[in-house]
Each structure stands twice: as C-alpha cells, then as structure tokens.
A and B are shown apart, each in its own frame.
Chain A
C-alpha cells in the first residue's frame, strides 16, 4: 500500500521536464502532496525521495526548513487561514484580529479546530498592506478585515 496515489505520482513526474534535474522538483512535489493530503507523512517523504532519486533525509531537510509543510502528527484542517501580524497590519489591528479569531475558534496560532475545518496561523507580511489588516484564506486574500467580517468568514468556512 503506497501513500501517494497514481494520480499524484503522475503529477509529480509531469514536473520533471521543467527542470534539468529531479531534485528541483522537491518543492513542487511537496506542494502537490501537501495540498492533497493536508500533510506530508514520513511514508510520503520516502516515496517522494524514491521518485526524485534522493535520500529521504534530503527531502525531509528541505521540507522542514520551510515550516510550511505539516507532518502527519499535525495535519492541516480543511481550510488554512493566515492572519498577518507584520508592520502594516500590526498598525491597523492585525494582532487584535488574530486574537479575536483564536478566541472564536478556540485555538492558538498553528492549531486546528476540533471539527478539523480550520487551521489558524499567524503570517509574516502577506503582501496585502494596502488592505490591512488582511487574512489569507487558502489561496485568496481578504482585505480590510473587521472582527465582524472575520466572524462571517469563520461561519462560512465552518458550514
């Protein structure tokens, strides 16, 4: 029984022609696996390494450097929500917004709600300083987020 599906393997292999060596596919492969499985397990690391002709420790080294990829002990929820706390958002209520959402969701930053719906994280500058404070919901940024907007967002994501 393998961790990576045939489809996932095919999508990783499809990245090979874009680079002169397979090692460069490490990040794309990690993203593909992480997006689909919501974490990258030890088994997945081994299988990625085999595909890329690397030692599993090399894949693990790269993966853990970024603090972006979750392990199987701490997987992502269905939705990943980042609240920016860097300077422009910090000046406009980013910290208060993060605390508000933590309280609403009963989690600390990095945690996932009990129903597995939302993983809440703090972010360092999301690059949406013109819409501060901002929140990145999966792949899309919400600008000028008030506490009321955050409440609405949470109920939509929980639905």
Chain B
C-alpha cells in the first residue's frame, strides 16, 4: 500500500471536524490570511504554477482558467462553485462538505480574492441534505467571526458566500447549465463562446470551479507549489499538450468491491491497485468483468486494461473518454454488460435536458434499442445501430451544445467495442435478463 498520507481527507475522522472551532484549531483560515497578504495576481500565479487541474471532470488547468478573466474589469466578477455532483459513482464532494466544509470555504475565499470577486455562489445538488445543513452552519460561523463579510481580517476585501440549492437535475453540473439554473431559468447549457470567464453568471465574468478543486486550492496555499508538484504524474514528454496530473485525488470506489469508499491517493494510481489495495478486492473472490474509470460517462476498462494509470491521460489511451470524476465502479464477472449499459443509457435518457434534438432523441433511442436487446428481441444489426447513434450525438461530432451526449454515447461505444462477443452471444441466445423487479419499478 502507498505511504501517502491523506491531506484533503486528513480531518474527516475527527470529532466535530465540520465546526469552525475545530477547523481553526487545526490552523484553519491561515491560508486565506496568507493569500490576503499577497496580490491577487500572485495567488493566481501560485495556483497556475502548481499545475492544479479542475477536479470536476474536464481537468482544465484551474490557474489558467482564472487568467481568462478580462483585465481591469469594473466588476462584479463571480465565482460559481459547482457542487452539483451527479455523475453516477461520484460522492467525494459530499464527504468533503459534510465532514470538512471549512476547507472548501477557505478555498472559495482564496479563489475569490485571486479572481477579484466579492461574491461566490455555491450551487449544491438537492440530494445532499446533510451537506447543505453543514454548509449553512459553516457559512453562518464565518460571517459571525468576520471571515466573510465586509473588510475581512481588516484587509479591505469584501466577501459574500451564498448557498444555492439545486432541484435534482444532472445537467446543472454542466457549467453553463449551472449558471442558467442559478439565474432562475431552466438549466439549458449555453452556446460557447462566450465562455463564462467573459460572460457568465448574470452576464458578468464568472469562474466555475469544482468543490474538490477548492479544497486543493486551500492546501496549495498552505503547503506550497513544490508540495503539490511532488505528488502525482508529471507531463508526458511525448505529448506537448499534456499539462501533467499533479496532486492528490479523491477516488470514489463503489460497485462490486469489499470496501467501497472515498480514497485520497496521488493521481496516477491504477484501477487494479485501487481495487486490490484499498477496496479489498471483489466480494466472493469473483473476477472483474469491467471497471468504470471515472463516472459512467467515461466508458469502461476491460480486465486487460486494469493497469492503466488513473491520471488525466491514462483512461484516454485505452479508449475511455477521460479521467472524469475519478469515480471507479467495479463490475464483477457475474454481471451482464448488456444490463450495465442499459442502466447507463437509462440514466442519460432520463437526464438529457432536451435542448438539442440529437441528445434528446439519441439517448432515448439507445435506451429503447438496449431494452429491445434485453427483452430477447435484439437483432445483430442493433449493435451497429447503437454505434452509429452513440457516435453521432455530442460535442465531438458537433451535434450538441454540451458534453452530456458524448458522455451518454461513450459507455455504449466502449461496451460494444470491448465486449462485442458478449453482446452478440446475448442477442443470439434470445434470452432476457430483465428482472421482474424492474417491471414493477419501471416508470
């Protein structure tokens, strides 16, 4: 097992870890004070130099994103913090917010200072009730102690942090969908450009960052750039576009493992290490059929690909969409891939926002074709039809505004390419694996 000592999750097992008193006793908000002693440009440069890449899924370099804001803008500039964690398999934001909300709030305060924003909105998905209560309490504590509000710590910097609650829609995790939702509208993603850094929330320059990214910002200020860069994987010298995969990552392990949970390890751990060393293997000693590398929209790793490093480049090299949210879901060898892919297709058909026709229709077609296969009525040509639909919807083929459809198509494409013989055998057998319980639960 790795000797890495968790930093982001260092406090979560302490009693009362969510309270301000406990956080202050552990040196809390000292990083924010340190930042206030620097210029905003210095803080931005520090974060840029650390190589921190956004933890929400796309992996865009955080400091670089901050520099896209217009210079000398009269304001207001907004920070929108994306806590709409809804990618199936992902739950690290929930743990951070329930157990250590101040670590996240401190990162928000530092980031606001760096981008010259006086107002942050934290958008939290509705389902996280306990995190919502913890945040409400934590924000109130900060206002009471003068950490938020006017002239914080006598620095002349004003800061407001507002909490905003979602209403159970996956699409609000897309940054411009989140912005639309915050503005009180349906969460239809916007056509880009303009990017949010130029024109975002309330038509003002806006930075959208993930919860885990905010916690990383706190730790980078506290421990320095060298510490952050000593963890993880440096850029691939053969890939000039690679920005490296530095720092710790909160991997969410679930599915068929003995010890599911959120594990903080350096970026670049392999799926096999995560499952065997942290997850305690598959229950009953069963074999692994497939592993989701980073939330279901990233596709699947086949058993032969389990030694792929889960950094920002690894999953892409074996045909997955990317690292995504680093939510690793283990699927054992007793499970039908047809059933698994149906589950993912049903999810996206339910969560497509309906704005772009290829996604609204395509996600439903994929679900219906997979339902036909699962009911024993599949035809061999359905597999090519699925590949055609899944390859035709999304930003990459250029048919949709946001990436939801790319994520909906990827697991379908990956599963058919990597497990085609299983699909063919399933169709030829004419059997059905629809369980009676699904008929009761069918909507």
Contacts and interface: CB of A to CB of B under 8 A. Distances in A.
A124 B404 CA distance: 15
11 contacts: A21-B183, A28-B164, A31-B165, A61-B185, A86-B343, A88-B254, A90-B343, A91-B256, A129-B329, A132-B255, A139-B130
Interface string A51-75: 0100000000110011111000000
A18 B331 CA distance: 45
A10 to B, nearest CB: 18
Contact of A122 (B165, B327, B441): B441
B342 to A, nearest CB: 9
Interface stretch (B82-90, B217-225, B233-241): B82-90
Nearest to B170: A124
Given A129-B329, A139-B129, A87 B335 contact: no
A136 B127 CA distance: 8
A26 interface: yes
B441 A102 contact: yes
A53 to B, nearest CB: 11
Nearest to A120: B441
On chain A, which size bracket covers the interface? 35 or more
B255 A99 contact: no
A30 B165 CA distance: 11
| Secondary structure dominating the interface of B | mixed
B228 interface: no
Interface stretch (B11-19, B57-65, B344-352): B344-352
B288 to A, nearest CB: 12
B254 A130 contact: yes
A99 B436 contact: yes
Nearest to B354: A65
B132 to A, nearest CB: 7
A136 B260 CA distance: 19
A66 B255 contact: no
Given A68-B169, A88-B254, A130-B254, A138 B129 contact: yes
A95 B347 contact: no
Interface of A: 18-21, 23-28, 30-31, 52, 61-62, 65-69, 82, 85-88, 90-92, 95-96, 98-100, 102-103, 108-110, 122-132, 136, 138-141
B435 interface: yes
A125 B186 contact: no
Given A27-B165, A130-B260, A139-B129, A96 B255 contact: no
B330 to A, nearest CB: 8
Nearest to B168: A68
A30 B170 CA distance: 18
Contacts of A86: 88, 296, 343, 347
Interface of B: 76, 85-91, 93-94, 125-130, 132-133, 160, 162, 164-170, 181-187, 202, 252-256, 260-262, 292, 296, 327, 329, 331, 335, 340, 343-344, 347, 350-351, 353, 435-438, 440-441, 443
A24 B254 contact: no
Nearest to B350: A124
Given A69-B167, A130-B262, 12 more contacts: A27-B184, A65-B187, A68-B126, A87-B347, A91-B331, A99-B441, A102-B440, A108-B440, A123-B127, A129-B260, A130-B260, A140-B129
A131 B259 CA distance: 10
A115 to B, nearest CB: 21
B130 A88 contact: no
A100 B436 CA distance: 11
B127 to A, nearest CB: 5
A141 B167 contact: no
Cβ-closest 7 pairs across A and B: A139-B129, A99-B437, A26-B184, A129-B254, A65-B186, A66-B167, A88-B254
Contacts of B347: 86-87, 124-125
B127 A127 contact: yes
Contacts of B85: 127
Contacts of B130: 139-141
Nearest to B93: A127
B443 A122 contact: yes
Given A30-B167, A88-B329, A91-B331, A127 B86 contact: yes
A148 to B, nearest CB: 17
A30 B441 CA distance: 28
